[in-house]
C-alpha cells in the first residue's frame, strides 16, 4: 500500500492498516509518567521474579510481561507451597509449570531480583 509522496517525490508508505506501526511503544498519560513506568518495566524483562498469591503459594520465574489489569506472566515458572498448610516451617513442595499468568486479584507480594538502586526506583511506582 502506498501513500502520499514527500517534497522529493518519493512515495511514503502508508501505515494506516498496521496497528503496530501506528501505536506508540510507550503509551503516556497526561502527565507523561506512563512512559517512565513502561521504561522501568522494560528494564525488568526476563529478570527473576518471586510472586506470592493469597493462598500461600509462591511462583518463581522470569518476568515476561504485565497487562493493563496488572496480571503478571512468568516464564519458566516453578510453584512452591508448604506440604502442610498449618506449619510455616514444613518442607516446601515444588512443581515446574512453564508459562503462567498470575491474576492481579490473587497477588499478595511481588519481589524482583535486582540491585538496591533498582528496588528503590521500583518503590516510586507505587505512588
Residue 2: its pLDDT value, please?
A: 43
Could you list the beta-strand ranges (E) of 1-127. 2-5, 11-13, 48-53, 58-66, 72-82, 92-102, 107-112
Beta pairing, strands 11-13 & 92-102: unpaired
Burial class of residue 125 (count of CB atoms within 10 Å of its CB; 0-12, 13-18, 19+): exposed
What are the structural domains, with CATH classification, of the chain? 47-127 (2.30.30.100)
The alpha-carbon radius of gyration of the chain (Å, integer) is 21
Query: 65-97, pLDDT tens digit by residue?
Result: 999 999 999 999 999 998 776 666 777 899 999
Look at residue 111 and tell me whether its pLDDT is greater than 50.
Answer: yes
Express each pLDDT in 15-64 by its tens digit.
Answer: 334 333 333 344 444 455 678 888 888 888 999 999 999 999 999 999 99
* pTM, to two decimals: 0.65
Q: Cβ–Cβ contacts within 10 Å for residue 74, how many?
A: 23
Q: How far apart are CA 91 and CA 47, in angstroms?
A: 26
Amino acid at each position: 500500500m502506498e501513500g502520499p509522496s514527500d517534497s522529493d517525490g518519493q512515495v511514503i508508505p502508508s501505515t494506516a492498516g498496521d496497528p503496530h506501526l501506528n501505536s506508540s511503544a510507550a503509551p503516556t498519560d497526561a502527565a507523561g509518567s506512563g512512559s517512565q513506568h513502561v521504561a522501568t518495566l522494560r528494564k525488568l524483562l526476563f529478570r527473576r521474579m518471586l510472586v506470592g498469591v493469597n493462598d500461600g503459594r509462591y511462583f518463581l520465574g522470569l518476568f515476561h510481561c504485565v497487562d493493563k489489569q496488572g496480571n503478571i506472566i512468568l516464564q519458566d515458572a516453578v510453584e512452591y507451597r508448604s506440604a502442610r498448610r498449618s506449619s510455616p516451617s514444613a518442607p516446601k513442595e515444588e512443581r515446574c509449570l512453564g508459562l503462567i499468568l498470575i491474576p492481579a486479584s490473587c497477588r499478595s507480594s511481588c519481589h524482583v531480583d535486582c540491585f538496591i538502586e533498582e528496588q528503590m526506583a521500583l518503590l516510586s511506582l507505587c505512588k
